[in-house]
Amino acid sequence: MKKTIIFSFLVVCLMVIGAPRPTIPLTMAVVKVTAYCHPGRTASGIRVQDGIVALSRDLERQLAVQFGDQINLEGLGTYSFQDRMASYKRMQADIWMPGRSQALRFGVKRNILLVKLV
């Protein structure tokens, strides 16, 4: 009982003085999804191929994802995070497609739920 009271007191004191609160990484976000089709290698070093997604850097931090993690884009499928987008992009995912015409046909999809699979 005494330990609980002391611990509660310490927690309240830390909250009052503005101690940093622990952050819990999110596992989902609502994003804009586009497509890209350049040849070559991804930021992770592998060759581009079907099933790869690039994420904006803010999403990468917010979701605490690492290369190779699986990402589900609602209604679009499951992809492997292997590439990064330009630093000015925000809340966006980019799916690799083999041809420019396919990427253009895909267009822009807004308000897609992105879920990090554990």
Which CATH number covers residue 74?
2.40.40.10
Q: What is d(CA 31, CA 97) in angstroms, rounded to the nearest whole number? A: 18
**Is the pLDDT confidence value at 10 over 60?**
no
**Is the pLDDT confidence value at 57 over 90?**
yes
Structure tokens at 26: 């999110």
The answer to the question of residue 7 being in a domain is no
The answer to the question of residue 32 being in a domain is yes
* Number of domains the chain is built from: 1
Q: What is d(CA 89, CA 97) in angstroms, rounded to the nearest whole number? A: 19
Structure tokens at 37: 């089709």
The predicted model scores a pTM of: 0.76
The answer to the question of residue 13 being in a domain is no
The answer to the question of residue 72 being in a domain is yes
What rounded mean pLDDT belongs to the chain? 85
- Tokens 């605490």 locate to 64
Q: pLDDT tens, 66-107?
A: 999 999 999 999 999 999 999 999 999 999 999 999 999 999
* Residue 20 confidence class, pLDDT cut points 50, 70, 90: low
pLDDT at 8: 53
Structure tokens at 76: 């679009």
The answer to the question of residue 11 being in a domain is no
The answer to the question of residue 102 being in a domain is yes
pLDDT at 17: 60
**Is the pLDDT confidence value at 11 over 60?**
no
The answer to the question of residue 9 being in a domain is no
Residue 37 domain boundaries: 24-116
pLDDT at 118: 78
The answer to the question of residue 46 being in a domain is yes
